[in-house]
Structure 1
Amino acid sequence: MKRLDTQTFTFNEKLTEEQISFFNQNGFLHFKNFIAKDTVQLFLNEFKRIEEQILADGEQKINGVPLKFGKDLDGSPLVQRICFASKFSPILREYIQDPRIQSLTALIGGDARVGEDEKDGLVFNHYVRDKHSKFTSMGWHTDSPRDLFLGQKIHKMLNIGTHLDDCLSRNGGLKVLPGTHTQGVFQTLFRKKQFIDHQPDVNEVGLDIEAGDLTIHDGDLWHRVEASVFEGEQSRRRVMYVPIVTGKYVPKNEHSKTPFYQRLAKYVVK
């Protein structure tokens, strides 16, 4: 595979032909300054409020999906992965209903829709590297095979990431293998050991991300989140993801069962 130089774009109301072509070839897009810095802070404030509510209520799961807990740098409780976050916040719900977000469904077309109440909904990941933290990285994986664990065939999907902290590639963060979204089902499932393999790949591309950037990656694209080279405050990375999904509408609610693969997650996610 030919090594790809990092390329970024600016989003102006709708996707351009150049952006669509780049995505079709490589399986990802990186938009700079998708949201303003004050909006970044607004979202961080919302997630802090949601975290406090979850801790106060003693929640362990939302719609059957386990939350991930850890401790912050000062030893205080930290919710490091929050799913279905928009159910707690009209502000976050309004954001994922924004026409710009909704317009991204054009990348896979058909019945594509923003999955606010499907899969894990709007997810907030909070990575921090410290002796207290249990969530510093995520091994190589693809997203769409989760359908198999739910007894469904694999459907096309996207993951839309809104980044709330700066994270230059040399410091860790999101790494992708361009073009792997076009591989067959066997390679989508078994090219690497899902979530277990953390080793760098000679063909991987790291993204130089700043707070306010937006990334898109195809659900069949191999990607990972590398641990920060720093410890402490410099290692903090917060990002929220919402899926764009296709196929049968399968919403989750408070009566939903925990999928088998999510029961195993604690053993493979560092």
Structure 2
Amino acid sequence: MSKLNLPPFTLGETITPEQRQFFNKNGVIVFRNFIHPETVKLFISEVERIEKEWLAEGRDKVNGVPLKFGQDEAGNPMIQRMCFLSQYSTALHEFLQDPRLQAVVDLLQPYEGRIAEIEKDGLILNHYIRTPNSKFSQMGWHTDSPRDIFLGQRIMPMLNVGIHLNPTPYENGGLRVIPGTHKQGIFKMLFRKKYFVDNDPDKHEIGFDMNAGDLSVHDGRLWHRAQQSPFVGEASRRRVMYVPVVTGKYMPKNANSKTPFYHRFISKVNI
């Protein structure tokens, strides 16, 4: 278990050969200062506005995908996992049109990829905070690939693109990955770890120092988890938005979409 000293990559409108080589080897890459501090504040404001509206109306799912609830330090209800956020925010929708994000799609070559704004769970927010009543302070080991199996299709290449809204030094927990596991066989992809239940550190895992405004990209076949913060309360807060980049059949969701089976399973796991 160690911290990876990342190259100071920045993302323009094309992926450089060095960036592609790094990603192909490790299955993960981080681009620094992808959005400005003012944009970070705007996105946090938009998320808080949507959360307030959804709590007021008693919403418990969006497009068939359940929301995940918890409580803050004061015992107030909060939504710790939100989905399809760009459908409720012009600013977030416009962000997904950023040409630099289209450059990220290029990492899926030779497959044709697309930003899944209304597929899968759309643009999500994972809001980790460690309090006595929080339901979401960590996430166990998993890959993002088995959902394809639950949907009755073969595993397709995909990316998960993370927009980090809080500074998260390595020591404060956060993203952990086992580099290179995006090239593993199907057996190890399904059985190397106990999905979402196993939170134990792996001797091969690496973590990162993340800054607010950084962009992370990981291959969906990569084993990864979110390490719990050693702190409690505000010092433990981590907000990360993720949007999937997918290949294969176009599968949009709407208000009439059914809840996928894997979400029913995840809701029963204390993560």
TM exceeding 0.5: yes
Contact conserved, 1:171 with 1:228, CA < 8 A, in 2?
yes
Q: For residues 1-270 of structure 1, what are the structure 2 equivalents within 5 Å? A: 5-8=4-7, 9-109=9-109, 110-270=111-271
Structure 1: 5+ residue stretches without partners: none
1:211-234 Cα shifts (integer Å, max 9, x gaps): 001000000000000110100100
1:3: how far off?
Answer: 7.7
Amino acid aligned to 1:77:
P
1:89-111 Cα shifts (integer Å, max 9, x gaps): 01001001111112211001332
1:146-204 Cα shifts (integer Å, max 9, x gaps): 11011111110000000000111111110000000000111111111111110001110
1:260: how far off?
Answer: 1.1
Distance 1:94 1:31 in 2: 20
1:132: how far off?
Answer: 1.6
Alpha carbons of 1:65 and 1:3: their partners in 2 closer, same or farther (altered >3 Å)?
same
1:78-130 Cα shifts (integer Å, max 9, x gaps): 01000111110010010011111122110013320000011000001100000
1:264: how far off?
Answer: 1.5
Distance 1:159 1:142 in 2: 10
Distance 1:123 1:244 in 2: 13
Residues paired across the two proteins, number: 269
Structure 1 vs Structure 2: percent identity of aligned residues? Answer: 56
Contact conserved, 2:4 with 2:208, CA < 8 A, in 1?
no
Distance 1:119 1:51 in 2: 20
Contact conserved, 1:105 with 1:114, CA < 8 A, in 2?
yes
Structure 2: 5+ residue stretches without partners: none
TM-score normalised by structure 1 residue count: 0.97
Give the secondary-structure state (helix, strand or coil) at the position aligned to 2:92.
helix
TM-score normalised by structure 2 residue count: 0.97
Contact conserved, 2:83 with 2:122, CA < 8 A, in 1?
yes
Give the secondary-structure state (helix, strand or coil) at the position aligned to 1:268.
coil
Distance 1:175 1:111 in 2: 27
Distance 1:114 1:6 in 2: 28
Give the secondary-structure state (helix, strand or coil) at the position aligned to 2:267.
helix
1:73: how far off?
Answer: 1.4
Amino acid aligned to 1:80:
Q
Alpha carbons of 1:181 and 1:250: their partners in 2 closer, same or farther (altered >3 Å)?
same
Distance 1:105 1:232 in 2: 36
Amino acid aligned to 2:226:
V
Distance 1:268 1:169 in 2: 25
Runs of at least 4 residues of structure 1 off by over 3 A?
2-5
Distance 1:245 1:36 in 2: 26
CA RMSD in angstroms comes to 1.3
